[in-house]
Structure 1
Amino acid sequence: MPLHRRLIAAGLIATGAALFALQPLANAQDAAPKKSKVPAAEVVGEPVSCINLSQIRSTQVRDDRTIDFILSGGRVYRNQLPNQCGSLGFDRAFTYSTSLTQLCNVDIITVLQNVGGGLMPGASCGLGEFTPVKLVKKAK
Structure 2
Amino acid sequence: MSRPFIAIIPQSINEGDKVLLKGLVKDDAYEFSINFVTGTSPNPEDIAYHFKTIFSENIVVENSKRNGDWMDEQVKEWPVSDGPGFALEFAFTGGNVYTYLVEDEHSRNLISYYPLDYDLHEIDSVQVWGDVEKIQELTFRYS
TM-score, normalised relative to structure 1: 0.26
Structure with the bigger percentage of strand:
2
Which of 1 and 2 has greater Rg? 1
**Does 1 or 2 have the higher relative contact order (CA < 8 Å, sep 6+)?**
2
TM-score, normalised relative to structure 2: 0.25
Structure with the bigger percentage of helix:
1
